[in-house]
Amino acid sequence: IQKFLNLYGDHIDPHRKFVLQLFADDWGQYVDLPKGFAVGERCKLRLVPLQNQMTMLGTLTPSSTVFFCCDMQERFRPAIKYFGDIISVGQRLLQGARVLGIPVIVTEQYPKGLGSTVQEIDLTGAKLVLPKTKFSMVLPEVEAALAEIPGVRSVVLFGVETHVCIQQTALELIGRGLEVHIVADATSSRSMMDRMFALERLAHTGIIVTTSEAILLQLVADKEHPKFKEIQNLIKASAPESGLLSKV
């Protein structure tokens, strides 16, 4: 850690908290190291910021934002509450991402058993579509894709299920110093209780819980934005409330 600070101390806040991780060949990803560990041979280590000392203001710009679409798959259709509404809003977000040139990363949870992303979701232009078994979207391939996008600061996250894959993804991302925006009207669970308690928990951790229209308008920010008309056309009809109003 001291060597790291000697090398990069001019570029980071030395009071920021970090966790030391080791690349585990067996898992194919980085894992946390316990206190008192010993290094016996050459290995790959990294320091990961645990928290951001600055207050999350929730600002969004297209150049520093990436969209994460999580596990919007066919086999979830009969089980997820308001799944049709979630699909509709998710497609609206992906259309907005294409209009604004925002990279999109998509995962599919065990597609062999749960099927591919639903046909209504157009994945044209997605930077990465990746199968997974881990609940979180934060996989080595996803981290590599993020590293290829210069200046990424914010992740807009939506999909299913709110209390499992969405929650675990969001917590891992903020642990890596990224600002996370969860789109409440584009994420759901099999149970409304699980959905609402997850959104409440995530809001308490500094994650921004917001809506699809708020996200899209924040990204254009100005009526004079060259893409404003195209975004306006996407939101002319209000997004379905997908059961959220009954729980407010």
Q: Catalytic positions, please?
A: 71, 132, 165
Compute φ and ψ for 13, nearest 5 degrees. -80, 115
Tokens read off for 219? 């990204």
23, burial (CB in 10 Å: exposed 0-12, middle 13-18, buried 19+) = middle
8 Å CB contact between 106 and 71 = no
User: How far is Cα 85 from Cα 88, in angstroms, rounded to an integer?
Assistant: 5
Size (the chain), residues: 248
Secondary structure E strands in 25-174: 29-32, 45-49, 65-70, 104-109, 128-132, 154-160
| Per-residue CA distances from 173 to 48, 86, 113, 132 (Å) | 11, 22, 27, 17
